[in-house]
Structure formats: structure tokens, C-alpha cells
A and B are shown apart, each in its own frame.
Chain A
Amino acid sequence: MASGCLAKVVFSDAKHNFLIHYLAAIGLLLVSPVVFGFSGLDERLAAIPLEIISPILGIILMTPVFMPEQNENIYDVVRSKKTSHTLVCFMRILLSAFITALLVGGLSLYMRCSDSQVTARLFASALISALALGALGVFSSALGDSALIGYMVSASYLVMDMFLHSKLKRFNLFTFSDGGTQINLWLAAAAAILITAALILRKYRR
């Protein structure tokens, strides 16, 4: 029963509050062939478009998870209900992460079918970069209590990383583009910590 209700809540959220973000993400994927070449790339060259597009998908899909309750009055109404609001937010994050994985996976498959060397580790690495940057968006939107702040911080980080690359050391999102061949678990850990911190912040929001 409880899971049925939760599913209803998450589905309804997706339809009313997040559909436009899903469409924006799909739109981004559809126009990306104008800018990027996806065929005949070796692993490192394939990483370039994949590691740029995936984090942007992460930003678009994950950052707005707290946006519907930015209005405090709505926040009070949903928080007065039996189902924990933190749990609802967590489910939204899971759904956004799942859709991010789906889209990054779709792009990877498309590239693979276009004769590019998108390996499983490259896919995993790009997905982790997407989740890490998305998690940064989630965290900063919780901290600043505004989705715009979330977008700003995560987009600024992406711009910064495009110019600083290895200066960001373990938190460089462009693992494979910069010649790495290992999945960066630091980013995965950062994503988990940022999401946990965001949920805690959200729970104790005043």
C-alpha cells in the first residue's frame, strides 16, 4: 500500500513538476549531433562528447528535485503529510539518476552503434561524472534554497573544470578525456555524500 502511494507521488511529480526537464534533456541529446561527431571514435575521443554531455544531463535532471517546494507554503502542506518529505525527495533523486543513466546509456549505445569505442568503463565513468555534478546541483540548491543557485553552482563547476581539468585532481569530471582509464570512485563518493548532505539540509530546513 505504502509503496503504491509512493509510486503515485513520484509518478505524479514526474508528470507535473519535472516533465519539462526531461524534455529539455532529451532535446539536448537530439541537437548534440550538430556540435559533436559520434562516429568512429576511439575510447579517448569518444570520452570527449560523452563526458561533456553527460554532466549537463546530470545538471538538468537532478538539480530541480527540490524546486516544487521552493514555495514555503507548499513545503508546509506536503511536510504535514504522513509520508516523509525527505523520502519523497530521495525517490525523486533516484528517479532523476535513473533517467540520467538511461539517457547516458542511450547516447553510449548510439555511439557504439556508430562504431565508437564506448566501453563499459567509459559509460560508467561518464555516468558517475553526471551524477556527481547533478549531486552538486542538488546540494547547492538545498543550501541556497533555490534551484537557480543549484544550476549556477553546478554549471560554474563545469565551466571551471573545462579550463582547469587536472588542477581539480580527483574531482576532475573529464576522467577519460584526460587520458584516464580507471573509474573515478572519488566522484562517486562525492555524489553520495552531497546527496546525503542535501537531504539532511532539506530535512532541517527552516
Chain B
Amino acid sequence: MLFNKECKKILLSLTFWIYSILVVIMFAENYYSEAKYPISKPAKGGSDYGLMVREDPELIMEGASASLMSDFASNRYVCYPYGFYKAVSLDKEDRDKVEEYVTEITAWDHDEILKQIDSADVYYMEHGFSTFPGYEFESVNIDKNMTYERYKEIMADIDDILGGGSAYKVDTLASRYSLVPMTYEDAVKEYEDSISEDTVTGSLARLFSDYTGIDLAFIPVFAAAALVAADRRRKMTELVYSRNISSLKLTFIRYGALVAMMFIPVFLTMIAAAIQAGEVYGDEPLKMHYMFTTTTFWLLPELMVVTAVGMFLTEFFSAGFAVAAQGAWSFLSLMSCGDKLSGNITKFCLICRHNTLYDRSAFMETYNDFVFNRIFYMVLALVMVLAAAYVYHLKRGGRFNGIRLFGKGSLFRRKA
């Protein structure tokens, strides 16, 4: 059967083994070494149970407004648009816009704002080679007519002006300004949430998927590109083109073989994770199927879409282009979660992160988006394979020869 032969071809390829080694190393060094410490029940009478997010509008408005005043005064806003530090200074026009918002929030007019800045505590902070005055505001006045809804709108606008990833991003307001100390009861509830709702394996499955999802967002593209480009490299293109198998069937068989083979090392690490869970939490009732169902639903669509996009781009452009494009996509997806690694799953992020054994409630809040996301990528994957098959079909009939970016007949030198 052709499917078996394609699987064998992949099994014998170097790219598959490099991919497998990476999956295993990342699993062993990240997940396996982290999951060996059991989640333990909080002890009563402890002094510190950590912090938890509680969306308290008053706290948020107070904290965010003080921070905004301070940033506005120094005109230096620290942002993380793609997870990397960026200090933004606004020009006059944007500064005026922010000032209008400050006025709306605080009910301070221009002169009052200047007065407040003059009386604020000043400290000097390093800014590269120079030092920079920072202003400290203990508290700022909040207009009593300001509603939390309007406040969030203002914050969204300011985040927009700053280019995103600022301290005023609506999604992160609560986790930034509204952290409250956990009580013993809160800590127990969080523990029981992790254990009782979906037993501890639910948490472990999320952490496993979080780590493995990072490998699967990029590295499979190499195996996909290598398989598609192999015919060309071995000068076998015409030979394969001339067979009577349909383009659709051939493309799907190759795609299926790639996904099936690349899922094997992931599946093996799932088994290892399940065995470890059995050992660490031997005394507790475990719903072991989560170690396979959650993880498969989380990871398989990602593997599918990365492989499909890799095949399509290699067929349409070239292997190099596919690798570069996938590299950029996965990097931006990875970095755009910033430092918030849980409760941050959106409808379209390629890499879904939940880098903790706790915080089940945050995951459940985004659960619908998560399900949508995974189904969306599964469908997109199938669409991309269809597109790859169509491009293959066109190339096979000599109606299309792929797009080259450079050289004669290329995108940049095509005559009008």
C-alpha cells in the first residue's frame, strides 16, 4: 500500500529523526522534569498562599490610573507587543489624546495635571546610556462618574495608541492591577479544582500540551518541506507526474503519512507522561484518558495545520520559503502571548499556552475559544492540503511551475 511506503520513506528520513529527537528532549527537559513534583494540598496555617487574580474594578482603576499618570508624566510607556520589551514615547498629537483620557478619568484639567506632576515624587531610572526621570503617584483621583465599562474602552484606546502589548491592555488589566493574596480557602479551592473536576490528569494534560505545542508549531514544517521537495531533488518529478494516481490521492496519502508518522513520537511521550502520572499520583483516582484525549485534541490540529501549510508553501513557492514563513508564524504566535502563559487562548492563536498545573478556571473561561481554535485549524489544514493538491495538479499538467521570488519569470521580474 502506498500509504505504508510513504510512511517507510519518512521513517528513513533524517528530518523525521531530528524532529523526533527534539520532541523527546523537549519533553524530558520541560514537562517530565516539571511534572515529577506532585501538586500538594496546601497546609493550613501557612503564611503565604500566593496571589490570585480577582477582577475588582475599583482596584483596577486605581492601579492602572496611577500607572498611566506616571507613564504620561515621563512620556515613556513600556510595552511588550510581541513579548519583547519596547519603550514607547508618544508624539505631541498622541500625547494630547492620552491627556484627554487622563482628564476624563481623573477629572483633572491641563493645569491640574501639570500641578500633580510637579508635586509627584521623582526618581531617576536608567534608560540605556542616559537616565530618565520617573514619577511616582501614590494614588490619583478617579472621576466619580467613571464607569468600569467606559474605563475599559479608554484603556483599549490607549493600548491601541501605544501599538499594543502595553500595561493597559484590557485582557491583562486584572492580572496586572487586581492581584489579591490567596486565603487558605482559596488555595484549597484551587487545589481541589485541579484535582477533583478533571482529576490531576486534566492539569497534567494541559501542561504537556503547552510544552509539546511549542515544538509542533515549527519543526514539522521541515519534514513536510523535505518530503515535498524530495522528488525534485532526486529528479523524480516527471517520473511521479506520469503515474496514473490522482494528485488529490497522492497529496492526501503523503499528508496522512506525514501526520501519522510525526504523531508517533508525540504519542510515545504521552504514554511516558501517563506512566509518570500513574507513579506520582498512584494513590489518587485518575481519569487517565485525559492524558490522551485532551492532548490529542490540543496537539493534532496544530501538527496537521503546520504540516499542511508546509506542504502547500513548498509546492507553491519553495522549501526555503515554507520554512521561513512557518518560522515567522510560530515565532510571532509564541511571543504574542507575552508573559501571560495561561488563560490567554484566543480563537486564532496557533500555539495555545497553559503553562501551569493550576488555573483551571482561566482555561475553562477560554474553553469555547479553545475548541473553536482547534476545529478551525483542523479545517484550515484540510483546506491547505486541498490547495496543495490543486497546485500539484496544475504543476503536473504543466499549467503552473510554482512561483519563484527571484530569477527569470519570477514574481519580481515578471513583465506586465
| A positions within 8 Å CB-CB of B | 19-20, 24, 34-37, 39-42, 45-46, 48-49, 70, 114-117, 144, 146, 148-149, 151-153, 155-156, 159-160, 163-164, 167
A117-B15 in contact (CB<8A): no
A117-B128 in contact (CB<8A): yes
Contacts of B22 in A (CB 8 A): 156, 159-160
B226 at interface (Cβ–Cβ under 8 A)? yes
Complex-state Cα separation, A19 to B19, whole angstroms: 29
Determine the main DSSP class of B at the interface with A.
helix
A37-B128 in contact (CB<8A): no
Complex-state Cα separation, A42 to B15, whole angstroms: 40
Among A20, A40, A148, A152, contact of B87 (Cβ-Cβ < 8 Å): A40
22 residue pairs from A and B, CB less than 8 Å apart = A19-B406, A20-B406, A24-B324, A34-B82, A37-B79, A39-B87, A40-B87, A40-B127, A115-B127, A115-B128, A146-B226, A146-B233, A148-B222, A148-B226, A149-B18, A151-B222, A151-B323, A152-B222, A155-B327, A159-B218, A163-B211, A163-B214
Complex-state Cα separation, A115 to B130, whole angstroms: 7
Chain B, interface size category, equals 35 or more
Contacts of B225 in A (CB 8 A): 148
Contacts of B219 in A (CB 8 A): 152, 155-156, 159
A159-B215 in contact (CB<8A): yes
B29-A167 in contact (CB<8A): yes
Complex-state Cα separation, A117 to B151, whole angstroms: 37
B111 at interface (Cβ–Cβ under 8 A)? no
In the assembled complex, the CB of A12 is this many whole angstroms from the nearest CB of chain B, namely 16
Q: Which residue of B lies closest to A52 (CB)?
A: B84
Known: A40-B127, A163-B30. 13 other contacts (CB 8 A): A19-B406, A20-B406, A35-B81, A35-B335, A37-B87, A40-B76, A46-B128, A115-B127, A115-B128, A117-B129, A148-B229, A149-B15, A152-B19
Q: How many A-B pairs with Cβ below 8 Å?
A: 95
B148 at interface (Cβ–Cβ under 8 A)? no
Per-residue CB contact flags for chain B residues 57-90 toward chain A (1 = under 8 Å, else 0) read 0000000000000000000100101101111100
A48-B85 in contact (CB<8A): yes
Complex-state Cα separation, A46 to B324, whole angstroms: 25
B264 at interface (Cβ–Cβ under 8 A)? no
Complex-state Cα separation, A77 to B301, whole angstroms: 46
B14-A35 in contact (CB<8A): no
Determine the main DSSP class of A at the interface with B.
helix
Complex-state Cα separation, A70 to B129, whole angstroms: 48
In the assembled complex, the CB of A84 is this many whole angstroms from the nearest CB of chain B, namely 26
Given known contacts A148-B225, A153-B18, A114 and B85 CB-to-CB distance under 8 angstroms? no
B29-A148 in contact (CB<8A): no
Complex-state Cα separation, A35 to B79, whole angstroms: 11
A35-B85 in contact (CB<8A): no
Contacts of A163 in B (CB 8 A): 26, 29-30, 211, 214
Contacts of A151 in B (CB 8 A): 222, 320, 323
Complex-state Cα separation, A86 to B225, whole angstroms: 29
Per-residue CB contact flags for chain B residues 15-59 toward chain A (1 = under 8 Å, else 0) read 100110010011001100000000000000000000000000000
B323-A148 in contact (CB<8A): yes
In the assembled complex, the CB of B113 is this many whole angstroms from the nearest CB of chain A, namely 24
Contacts of A144 in B (CB 8 A): 14
Complex-state Cα separation, A155 to B221, whole angstroms: 12
Complex-state Cα separation, A34 to B233, whole angstroms: 36
